[in-house]
Amino acid sequence: MDRRARLQTARLYLIASDRPGGRPLADVLGPALEGGVDLFQLRCKDAADETVLAASEVARELCAAAGALFFVNDRPDLAAAAGADGVHVGQDDMPVSRARQIVGADRLVGLSTHAPAEVDAADADLIGVGPVHATPTKAGRPAVGLELVRHAAAHARVPWFAIGGIDEDNAAAVIGAGAARISVVRAIADAPDPRAAAYRLRRMVETVALHHGPAHAA
């Protein structure tokens, strides 16, 4: 399937560094993909380009073998160089249009959104909606709660993933608020068994997709 077709069926998005939970990337990402992750973003804040590209090679090969999409955070130039499927940018980074120029029309661009107006105006291929709960990966960014999830469920025009402090204890409430796709970091990256953690989260979110269909998730 092409990238946009795979995006439509994606449900579980893992974001992690090159050393998730202090472990080699392959030791976490490989099992997570087996458990049901179908979109992975490499997020290496402040890392050297060489570090990002080396980790990208590992991630690209694992994701390709699993049929999952692979994104690089913040850096469309590195996403293109690494052969990634896309890049993810924030509201304070470069505009989506500029990121798209750099990665090319055949790759995907994701965008973080934190308010109803940002969800409504998003011109990306996919959006992250949150942070639903406070999270150390978004220090200083206030939690938006479930109201923004409900807004996205009603108004988002592109595939969207609820994000921010989501784990097995609170995912049901997020899914119940309308999220048919979720993004996680620590819930898988720090899990003793990434495969089992991914499997359980995937089962939770697939229940919504099964009962509500694609329209529920944009």
Question: Annotated binding residue at 97?
Answer: no
Question: Annotated binding residue at 30?
Answer: no
Question: Annotated binding residue at 39?
Answer: no
- Tokens representing 56? 């990208």
Q: How far, in Å, are 14, 168, 169, 205 from residue 188 at the CA level?
A: 7, 10, 13, 15
Please count the structural domains in the chain. 1
**Which of 151, 117, 145 is closest to 130 using CA atoms?**
145
Enzyme catalytic residues: 43, 112, 138
Asked if 40 and 85 touch (Cβ cutoff 8 Å), the reply is: no
Which CATH number do you get for residue 33?
Answer: 3.20.20.70
Q: Which residues of the chain, if any, have pLDDT below 70?
A: 1, 137-139, 209-218
Residue 141: the pLDDT is 78
Give the CA radius of gyration of the chain.
Answer: 16
Question: Annotated binding residue at 73?
Answer: yes
Give me the domain span that covers residue 102.
3-90+98-217
**Which of 168, 172, 164, 163 is closest to 135 using CA atoms?**
164
Question: Annotated binding residue at 42?
Answer: yes
Residue 215: the pLDDT is 40
d(CA 18, CA 25): 5
